[in-house]
A = this chain, B = another copy of it.
């Protein structure tokens, strides 16, 4: 049984707590959160301790840390955990500054601890199946990838200001998905964006609607279509066109009931947001991390993957500002 110290008792921390406690090889050992009441409530629910970061890092009973705290704490916590010899699961991103990410990853390498970056969508059963079917030759060679990623409704402008911008905060998942599906790093990126959803987002210096085009060494291409507001739930789809056909992962809908009347056929809209849509993915990525802890696997989604997704976000921003395709 591996004891896990969980940093962050918020929404995403609670999702991980369920999976940590529910896995037969892992145990929620302690919860760390500057918001003490939140830490206590979550710890109480699972019979875990409340610790400070220092206590957790120094505690020899802790084998691994789950970092689900605020973004600006990730890199520091990773380094502390690495030096303490803990295995590390960290929510994306490592940091919003690429240089800081690289420093941090260098420390992890020196300390020789496993680091898994939680790009949860790689563990969505639909997207994973597309990747597996491509690998199995179902559609020949990959040619065009179309990623649709639209949130149900925009975040508050206060969040936008500290988010690092849409590319680093939201599109980063899609950059990782493009790399995951295509199995190679892109060689060029073009990005175009607008502020259409909420003027406050524009006032905060950010965009809320974007199209990105990636080009891969093979000549294959990908587009990403993003919006901070779909108006119909969480729109998460991919289409992968290959030399022998198409693989398409469609949305998961709230239910399978239809109502037919003179007004037409009404079906349920897609699952509301990531907590619903990616519930299975969060569980599957934790199962993978338990395999890492048990020495049965290497982290499939590494610090390098985290670095590359951020690099693409930075370069997309450069393209957005210059109006030019950027070579990578």
Are A211's CB and B196's CB within 8 A?
Answer: no
A142–chain B nearest beta-carbon distance, Å: 10
Is A157 part of the binding interface, using a Cβ–Cβ cutoff of 8 Å?
no
Chain B CB within 8 A of A192 CB: yes
Q: Is the CB of A245 within 8 A of B219?
A: no
Given contacts A260-B248, A325-B324, contact A209 B192 (CB under 8 A): no
CB distance from A235 to the nearest CB of B (A): 8
Within 8 A of B (CB), among A165-202: 188, 190, 192, 194-197
Distance of A269 Cα from B220 Cα, bound (Å)? 24
Q: Residues of A within 8 Å of B, CB-based: how many?
A: 70
Listed stretches A4-12, A104-112, A221-229, A293-301; interface member: A221-229
Contact A259 B194 (CB under 8 A): no
- Bound complex: CA A266 to CA B243 (Å): 17
| Residues in B neighbouring A22, C-beta threshold 8 A | 22
Q: By the criterion CB–CB under 8 Å, are A232 and B256 in contact?
A: no
A259 adjacent to B133 (CB under 8 Å)? yes
Nearest CB of chain B from residue A184's CB, rounded to whole Å: 14
Q: Which of B139, B141, B196, B257 contacts A133 (CB 8 A)?
A: B257
Residues of B within 8 A of A260 (CB): 230-232, 245-248, 269
Contact B247 A257 (CB under 8 A): yes
> Are A126 and B256 in contact, CB atoms less than 8 angstroms apart?
yes
Docked Cα-Cα span, A269 to B267, in Å, equals: 12
Choose among B125, B211, B245 the residue that contacts A232 (Cβ–Cβ < 8 A).
B245
Contacts of A267 in B (CB 8 A): 264-267
A-B contact pairs, 14 of them (CB 8 A): A24-B45, A143-B194, A210-B221, A230-B260, A231-B243, A246-B260, A246-B261, A248-B258, A263-B266, A264-B266, A265-B266, A265-B267, A267-B267, A324-B325
In the complex, the 7 A-B pairs of residues with the closest C-beta atoms, listed nearest first = A245-B261, A194-B219, A232-B260, A246-B260, A231-B245, A250-B256, A323-B325
A residues touching B (Cβ–Cβ < 8 Å)?
22, 24, 45, 125-126, 129-130, 133, 138-139, 141, 143-144, 146, 148, 150, 188, 190, 192, 194-197, 209-211, 213, 215, 219-221, 223, 225, 227, 229-232, 235, 241-253, 255-269, 323-325
